[in-house]
Structure 1
Amino acid sequence: MVMKHYSAEFKADAVALYESRPEATIKQVATDLGVNAETLRNWVRAAGSSRPRGRRSAAPSSASVVPSALEAEVAALRRENAELKKEREILRKAARYFGGGDGLVNRCQFVEDHQRRYGVKRLCRVLGLARSTFYYWRRTASLRAARQAADARLAARIRTVHRASDGTYGVPRITAELRDGGEVVNHKRVARVMNAIGLAGLRLRRRHRTTIPDLTSTKVPDLISRDFTATEVNTKYVGDITYLPLSGGTFRYLATVIDLASRRLAGRAIADHMRAGLVIDALHAAERTRGSLVGAIFHSDHGAQYCSRAFADACREAGVTQSMSAVGSSADNALAESFNATCKRETLQGRRAWDTEREAHLDLFRWLHRYNTVRRHSRLGHCSPIAYEQALRTTSTTLAEAA
């Protein structure tokens, strides 16, 4: 039975109960107490309770939790999708930066160019680049620009030297040429710049056999024993024959006489045959260059021309002692063969043959003259043969005067 009259203490307790249960409504508290909801509301109003009417602080029901969780998940997926779209956009734009060159530099440059749109942090994360690396790259930009400018100036000088050598000089000779011109440069830097601009020296080609041994000839001792050095000029020489290919499958032949002390080409002869007269003409040319060959040693392979009686007589008349390598051993006359290979490599310039005999003659005339006077020889400290001979004479004169 519902009470009609309530004491002041009951009313105060009912209001206090309502205020102590912020999650409950007036109707819920009234039901618990067995009073009319409107009556409890009047008591609360009369007590001046500060609690808002109809306030709900209770936890949402499971029905309301599910939509809120889904909405949060959808929002997270949308954010993730937007981020993936930006990453894909970044990678698509970055693809143009990776066509070649240094990958690290390309990544740094891409971050530098797009940082305002995407931010450094995001770009570095997408490209797999440490931010400290990017900031270091940007901090050293001025030093890098100065180095690139210096490399560009060096590349221009390298091209000039390479062109002057008819495209034959490699890293060692170009380095020596630059140093003689006052450039302070390391051969590793020259190699790096040459590689960057696509320059290289000429390389050896396959050899063609010109030595035909005469197994019936008189045995001549080997006085060189692979020691291709000499302390004085006009004391030891080596010689060989090499073929000069012409278009149409024909050949001309070059015979040489090279001084072992200075690597100077002292004598040469060109003919359309490989008879003994070819090597005799080369020996006479060396005799004219030196004035006399008396007391000198001339070393060759066992080719039939060098084993001939005619060549032996020519050596005897010139006062030259013959020396020969072992039969079939190319290493015993390696210096002369190396000279021939270099000569053809640098005159043919990758071609298989000369078009005409006159073209071959002029190319050889030019190169053989440059070999003695200009071309740097690694064995001579990158001096030309004639410059080396002049230095030897100067040193000998100085020592004689000091004595």
Structure 2
Amino acid sequence: MKILAQVVAFALTIAAAVSASAGQGHKTQILWHQIPFFQGGDLGQYQITMQQDRDTVRKMLFSELMTEAQKLAESGASVEKMLVPMANILMEFDELHDRHKQIDSKNIGYSLEQQFKAEIGNLFIENDIRDYDRKLEIASGKNALLVEETIAQLRATGFDEAKIRSMLNELDYTAYGTFTSIGKGVFQVNVHLIGYRSGIYRSFTATGRLTEALSEVARKVFDHFQKNTYPDWENPLKTLTWMPMPVNPERAETGYSYSEAQTYCKMRGYRLPYSREILLAESGTQYKEGGIQALSLYTAVPVADQRYVAMQHWLTPGHEIYTGGAVQPQHASMRGQFWCVKGEVGTDVLYIEKVFKLIREYRSSNHDVYRALETIRYFYGDFGATETFFAGTKLLRIYENNDQALAVLKKNGIKL
């Protein structure tokens, strides 16, 4: 009877929560209200940590007792008669400490469960999220009298097991937590969610002081459900196939020269990428179709770009503030990591390359054309394009809009 009552109460709670969220533009995810927390990790290490904490306090207590004993001895009291009472005080402290530790360890799971729920609730309040906008709801129980009445009604009208099962299927997630001491008062707290119907397992973790770690992991769970869902990343370069550089631990730090990278790609039927291609690909990350591993800051990647001079160029992410642009010509004995790519070059890449070819041709001979080309770069959003730039020692400024720039190019018989 007791188990049946709990099941029916659970079903009623879930059905009520789902009904309350209907028609709000999203389905509220229901999380079962019992979220047990289990202590994990190396118990021996945990005891050592606790022992160290106790020893610290004992040393302080012992120091204070010795100070008082010295004062009493100086006033003529017998030190020998004080040794036994002092030892008893320390023993009582140890017993009291161990007793409190056992009580705290016994009740900590329940405390963490309630604190976790409170943290979730506070996040809804702090972010001014009203009930109708909640995407996560923690189910709550019903009182025993209501449950008994409901069971009586079900028995009188016929107990429909399939109906109860369908009500239970409205549950979305169950959860449990673990906490592990990693020493010096620092804990790792984990919350694990299991999809009731899908079986999907999700885990969230945070490290810090116990209450701080619990607060952080609650925020992660809250964000997972409540944050806006944005459209999936779409591969902008679907015609390209990427190939990483060879795996060679000895080259991980020294890197490869431009010629080595170019030769490696060419011999396998690939080419070096253009900067626009590789930056778009890394935005997808190595975990999404068409994406690649993120480029490391302050490294160099050989690219096929030809900019103000016709020579080998490198993409140097993170160096823009020092170099004036993300793409720089070869200097000294430059080396770095690289990617190879196979596929048709995009029209936007070819367009910018054509602009730079004209810049190399007119940069010194015709400042009006050069100014028009830099204007086109600026409004196109090319890397490193600015409103002002130098032509030799002369400072130039872009035209007011793209139409003026195109008119100058047309006047000089240039068509992009």
TM-score range, shorter chain: under 0.3
| Bigger Rg, structure 1 or 2 | 1
Structure with bigger strand share is 2
TM-score (norm 1): 0.23
TM-score (norm 2): 0.23
